[in-house]
Amino acid sequence: MLRFIASRLLQGLFVLFALYTITFFLAKAMPGEPFTTEKNLSEESKAYQRALYGLDKPLLHQYFIYPKNIITKGSLAISTSKGRPVKDIISQSFKVSVVLGLSALGIAICIGVPIGVISAVRRNSWVDWGTMAVAMIGICVPAFTIGPLLQIFIAAKLSAIKVAGWGDPQDILLPAITLGLSTAAYLARLTRGGMLEILSQDYIRTAHAKGIPPSKVITRHALRGGILPSVAFIGPAFAALISGSFIVETIFQVPGMGQHFVNAVIARDEFLLLGVALFFGFLIVIMNLAADILTGILDPRVRIAGNAAK
Amino acid sequence: MRIINVLCLLAAALLATACKEGETAVDRATGNGILIMGNTSEPKGLDPHIVSGVLESNIISALFEGLVVAHPSKDGVALPGMAEKWYPTDPQKPDEWIFELRKDATWSDGKPLTAADFLFAFRRILTPALASDYSFMLYYIRDAEPYHKSQRSYLNCRNDPSFPVDWNTLKKVDFGPNEEGETEFNRKGLDHLAAQQIEELKSDPGLFQWPEDVSRDVREILIEKNLEFANSGKNLWDLIDFGATAPDPHTLKVKLNSPIAFLPEITKHYTWFPVPRHKIIDHGKIGDRFTAWTKPENIESNGAFILTSWQFNDHIQVERNPLYWDKGNVGINGIRYLPISNLYTEDRMYFDGQMHITYTLAPELIEYARERYPDQVRNELYLGTYFIRANVTREPFTDPRVRIAFSKAIDQQSLIKNVLKGGQKPAGGLVPPFGDYRPATTIGFDPEGARKLLAEAGYPGGKGLPEIEFLTTDKETSKANAEALQAMWKDNLGVSIRIRQMEWTSYITTMFEKDYGLAAGGWIGDYMDPLTFLDMWMKDGGNNRTGWHNEQFEVLLKKAGNTGDPQARYRVLEEAEALFLSETPILPLYWYTRNYLIHPDVKGWDPLILDNHPYKFLRLERNPDPSPPATSR
């Protein structure tokens, strides 16, 4: 197991470096620079600012100095558009995004998994078709439609819920639903698929033949295997949810991380861009690893295969 | 099944709950005397010398106060601020101004505020290393520009009697950095070379590409002078004869390059505000960007409010400054700024009772809001002009007749009524109407005349025109705007143009590089004077970008600069504008308006063309009207 984790971490390091390289050169390929403003800045001023951020150095030097500073100083440089350390920006907005992402994931699991189980058990009934149709809509309808609809039909009507803003605990509800809904829909479909496969297995028939109550067969025996595709999906989905969403954040005025991806590009803020890209990459690597470990624990086949390989 | 039932029940319960009633966030804020404002986005910072945006200005003007203060309801009127009195030493030729500072002025930590704070602020914003976006606002002060541009050669030679030529003949030669320079030294600029590099240049003059009109002996002297100064370790500041001085701690004297009768108007801009020298020096050097001095725990200010809370991307709050000189007249207890970038979210939050004033009102909602809440919708003229730049260095816009034809083919009224829907004013010229300046009326819809001019230029019915590209930004509204113009040019001139939408920075870069035929643009005035719209079209104007220039135009601007009488000066500027429009390197479309929502609780918020509302004059009072304003939608 340790060897597995170590090798995956090493792979992750390569992934991060590749991600850094691609992002770095893409950022450099963008037209304009951070100091391109409407107010035509003098050449002198631009030269001073380039020197301040080290952007006057040769490209290769810039390419190596950034990772070097991360490793030696733990520094992600200063954002050219926000004038504060990228590390501070990420740590402040990440807290918000974790709260929102966890709530969204909770909502997604609470809605998605039961619906998937029910439609698998009632396969080809109206319940199945109905829930799967709703799930399909959930996947297809974008957040910028659901969000405003929730604002208009729920928040504007209920005094306890604000249309947007972040501060009170109940402010989490609507953005979390908006963010979690499409994940819930995916989970429903994945759970249904996984459950259908398991329900046709011999050991389930055996369990039924032994006279175990159907509800117990489903929750004890079938769900454990049927949920595996969802578990594999939850890892990266969780990383995506807690790294924020530009659309949900702007609709509900949530000070999360997602907006930095977009705004950094618009402002040609390459340090912020690199910072959030690497941080997101890091999350994905860790979450994928966690999902793999969890799958190993839940799925005896993976454990056996792992042992056989030894 | 049980779970579905529970979910259904929950949804039904949510929908069945009664409509909103009771106290909203705005009601509570009014009760506490806190104004809540939409402010589009997280500010780049709160350092008046670093930022350049309107949203930052909205916060800075609450925290800091300049020499004079804007009037709450009258444009172009200055009230006492840090200065109690101000006057030009010679009213006939107002090129030197005296500002008598109030003796009780202090920073929010109790430290006295003196003329030295202003001098420090001026020097700081002009410090090249600080790289302020907005230093040019101080270029009116004597020697501010050469210092900010580090014109070492000029400053070292201009007063030297032994210098062989008159410096004015060298004025066209730029010794600053030149990005397109052929040698490394040209890219750096002679004025910026380090001592060692000048030594190298001395032994090999070919390292720098000298312009032809610089004679050999002048080159040698320039190298020698630059080297001497670089080795002396002195600062250029010691070399200049800076116009701003402090004869005593409570007097600020400002000597300008040329007479400016409206200087107090310019000083309302935050680039002229004092900054707390003691705090800035505590956290870094004069030229350090982004030090910690603007953090809530460090910042000291001199305005009606002090910074109390700054939650990144969430809110900024300012509250009463107990040491403010005019604290008795400050009508509200504080302001909360919300960085809401999504304009629909902002409008929904307003209608949900979460804020007093929105930054803007979405064009699609203007009709809706006017019908339901007529008393809460504002539509006000704003000191700005929307126009289209024509690249006069590129066919077919090298011919003024083509430019005028394209301008006359635009039906401004229809554009405003059918596309923009924001009650904008059709632009008759470049400078928006205000005060005693008579706005031009030359620009207007005339399809017949447009066709005739185009034919005269050799393109009857648009035949023979090269492909024309219209550069604009990637905003939804820009697209609708561009398509409407495309249709108008097609219908009225028979010309097909191509629309090229670009993301903001790429758009700016492309415009800088003059890689366009027509380009959408606009300009917001920095101060209440036509000059803020006119001087950008000078040959060296950094924001010109059309390639157009005209000597007569520049002569007129200079003449206006030397005309002391404000009315006579306006007439000269009107003449300059008329000349500009006769060649029209830009196609003026409309004068901006600002559309926004304002809660009836806010009193004393009157239309101002610069939209800089001095917050201290505001009041928050519960509306006695029993019908509750806009709490549900």
Report the pLDDT averaged over residues B473-498.
Answer: 92
Q: What percent of chain A stands above pLDDT 70?
A: 96
The residue assigned the tokens 């117990």 is: A216
Cα distances (Å, whole numbers) of residue B135 to B147, B246, B318, B539? 11, 21, 26, 19
Report the pLDDT averaged over residues A90-117.
Answer: 91
Q: Is residue B4 less than 8 Å (CB to CB) from chain A?
A: yes
For B177, the closest of A43, A159, A268 (CB atoms) is A43
Beta strands in B480-544 (DSSP E): 497-502, 518-524
Does A46 contact B131 at a Cβ distance shorter than 8 Å?
yes
Q: Is residue B148 less than 8 Å (CB to CB) from chain A?
A: yes
The pLDDT-based confidence of A182 (bands split at 50, 70, 90) is confident
pLDDT value at residue A122: 86
Minimal Cα–Cα distance from A310 to chain B, Å?
44
- Residue A302: strand, helix, or coil: helix
Minimal Cα–Cα distance from B103 to chain A, Å?
35
Residues 6+ away with beta carbon under 8 Å from B439: B428, B429, B431, B432, B433
Tell me which residues of chain B, numbers 493 to 522, contact chain A at a CB-CB cutoff of 8 Å.
503-506, 508-510, 512
Q: Which residue of A has its CA nearest to B290?
A: A83
The pLDDT-based confidence of B21 (bands split at 50, 70, 90) is low
Minimal Cα–Cα distance from B190 to chain A, Å?
12
Contacts of A84 in chain B (CB under 8 A): 290, 312
Q: B117 and B275 in contact (C-beta within 8 Å)?
A: yes
pLDDT value at residue B630: 47
Torsion of CA B254, B259, B263, B267, to 10 degrees: -50
- Report whether pLDDT(B76) > 80: yes
Contacts of B52 in chain A (CB under 8 A): 37, 39
Contacts of A39 in chain B (CB under 8 A): 52, 133-134, 136, 542-543
**DSSP H or E stretch at residue B371:** helix B366-372
For A156, the closest of B188, B504, B632 (CB atoms) is B632
Which of these, B42, B71, B109, B57, lies nearest to B607 by C-alpha position? B71
B520 phi and psi angles, rounded to 5 deg: -65, 145
Range with lowest mean pLDDT among A146-160, B71-85, B311-325, B568-582: A146-160
pLDDT value at residue B172: 64
Tell me which residues of chain B, numbers 231 to 270, contact chain A at a CB-CB cutoff of 8 Å.
none
Which of these, B189, B170, B171, lies nearest to B179 by C-alpha position? B189
Does A44 contact B149 at a Cβ distance shorter than 8 Å?
yes
For B177, the closest of A44, A118, A148 (CB atoms) is A44
| Dist CA B109 CA A298 (whole Å) | 63
For B20, the closest of A157, A252, A268 (CB atoms) is A157
Q: What percent of chain B stands above pLDDT 70?
A: 94
Range with lowest mean pLDDT among A214-228, B167-181, B389-403: B167-181
Q: A224 and A135 in contact (C-beta within 8 Å)?
A: no
Of residues B119 and A165, more confidence is placed in B119
Of residues A215 and B583, more confidence is placed in B583
The pLDDT-based confidence of A305 (bands split at 50, 70, 90) is low
Contacts of A151 in chain B (CB under 8 A): 345, 348
Q: A34 and A266 in contact (C-beta within 8 Å)?
A: no
* B307: β partners: B318
pLDDT value at residue B14: 47
The pLDDT-based confidence of B416 (bands split at 50, 70, 90) is very high
The pTM of the full predicted model, rounded to 2 decimals, is 0.88
Domains of chain A: 94-309 (1.10.3720.10)
Report the pLDDT averaged over residues B402-425.
Answer: 93
Does A156 contact B289 at a Cβ distance shorter than 8 Å?
no
Q: B354 and B561 in contact (C-beta within 8 Å)?
A: no
Cα distances (Å, whole numbers) of residue B266 to A3, B46, B123, B441, B609? 69, 20, 17, 27, 15
Edge to edge, the sheet with strand B251-255 lists: B83-88, B96-101, B251-255, B244-248
Report the pLDDT averaged over residues B529-552.
Answer: 88
Q: What is the pLDDT of residues B427-452, one digit of tens each?
A: 999 999 888 899 998 889 999 999 99
Range with lowest mean pLDDT among A46-60, B73-87, B472-486: A46-60
| Dist CA A184 CA A113 (whole Å) | 8
Q: What angle do CA A41, A47, A48 make, to 5 degrees?
A: 95
Q: Which amino acid is at A176?
A: A
- Report whether pLDDT(B540) > 80: no
For A31, the closest of B22, B192, B509 (CB atoms) is B509
- Report whether pLDDT(B214) > 90: no
For A32, the closest of B314, B342, B509 (CB atoms) is B509
- Report whether pLDDT(B307) > 90: yes
Of residues B398 and A160, more confidence is placed in B398
Residues 6+ away with beta carbon under 8 Å from A246: A258, A259, A261, A262
| Dist CA B541 CA B523 (whole Å) | 13
Q: What is the pLDDT of residues B346-382, one digit of tens each?
A: 999 999 999 999 999 988 889 899 999 999 999 999 9
**What Rg value do the Cα atoms of chain A yield, rounded?**
24
- Report whether pLDDT(B628) > 70: no
Q: Which amino acid is at B194?
A: A
- Report whether pLDDT(B343) > 90: no
pLDDT value at residue B140: 93
CB pairs under 8 A between A and B: 165
Report the pLDDT averaged over residues B285-293.
Answer: 87
Neighbours of A255 (CB within 10 A): 23
Minimal Cα–Cα distance from B422 to chain A, Å?
23
Beta strands in B43-109 (DSSP E): 68-70, 78-80, 83-88, 96-101
Q: At what angle do helices B400-408 and B476-493 cross, to 10 degrees?
A: 110
For A52, the closest of B3, B148, B289 (CB atoms) is B289
Q: What is the pLDDT of residues B506-522, one digit of tens each?
A: 888 888 888 999 999 99
Does A164 contact B354 at a Cβ distance shorter than 8 Å?
yes
Q: What percent of chain B stands above pLDDT 90?
A: 58
- Report whether pLDDT(B270) > 70: yes
Residues 6+ away with beta carbon under 8 Å from B110: B323
The pLDDT-based confidence of B269 (bands split at 50, 70, 90) is very high
| Dist CA B192 CA B186 (whole Å) | 10
Q: Which residue of B has its CA nearest to A31?
A: B506
Whole-number mean pLDDT of chain B? 88
Q: Which residue of A has its CA nearest to B23?
A: A159
Q: Which two tokens stand for residue B374?
A: 């007529």
pLDDT value at residue A308: 52
Q: What angle do CA B46, B51, B56 make, to 5 degrees?
A: 55
Report the pLDDT averaged over residues A92-108.
Answer: 92
pLDDT value at residue A304: 58
- Residue B247: strand, helix, or coil: strand
A77 in the Ramachandran plot: left (φ > 0), alpha (ψ -120 to 50) or beta?
Answer: left
B307 phi and psi angles, rounded to 5 deg: -75, 125
- For residue B126, the number of C-alpha atoms closer than 13 Å in the C-beta half-sphere is 28
